[in-house]
Structure 1
Amino acid sequence: MKNPNYTVIIQWSDEDNCFIASLPEWGEFCHTHGNTYAEALKNAEEVLELLIESAIEEGEALPEVRKFAVSS
């Protein structure tokens, strides 16, 4: 089961010399990385899929999706 509505934040890290992809709904320490933006996104999608599968297998509730609010 995939849920494309989870947040993925990708930022360049000078310290690590790579792109860091964060999955904030899954906790502040849920990160992966990649040498390119595309690689970081691919890795984040794979991690997200594993997190969802694992939560379902363990009978745990999935985290609530954060909504992006635009003020008018």
Structure 2
Amino acid sequence: MKLKIIITYEDGWYISSCPNLPGCHSQGRTTKEAFANIEDAIKGYIASYVKHKEPLPVQPFIEKQIEVKYDSISASIR
């Protein structure tokens, strides 16, 4: 199973999340640690569903990148 992992940076922590698995998040002080921790979180997440014999709520993830021009936003709020 291939899953999407997203890493963001906030207040000294790299926050990792898996948008395919609702509520599956972790963190680390480095990106390497955040990736390792989210992998552990995913394994635990899946194991919990298997243990309780529940279907895994894998959600499709649609990705699109957009470009927002800062100057146009800045000008519109002046």
* Bucket of the pairwise TM-score, normalised by the shorter protein: 0.7 to 0.9
Q: Among residues 30, 51, 62, which one is paired with 1:57 in the alignment?
A: 51
Identity rate, percent? 30
Distance 1:48 1:55 in 2: 11
Aligned residues: 64
Q: Distance in 2 between matches of 1:66 and 1:34?
A: 25
TM (norm. structure 1) is: 0.73
The answer to whether the 8 A contact 1:7-1:65 is kept is: no
Residues 67 and 31 of structure 1: CA distance in aligned 2, closer, same or farther (over 3 Å): closer
Provide the secondary structure at the position in 2 that maps to 1:20.
Answer: strand
Instruction: Please provide the CA RMSD for this pair.
Output: 1.9
Is contact 2:49-2:55 (8 Å) kept? yes
The gaps in structure 2 that reach 5 residues or longer are 65-78
Gaps of 5+ in 1: none
TM-score of the superposition, structure 2-length normalised?
Answer: 0.68
Give secondary structure in 1 for the equivalent of 2:33: helix
Q: Runs of 4 or more off by more than 3 Å in structure 1?
A: 67-70
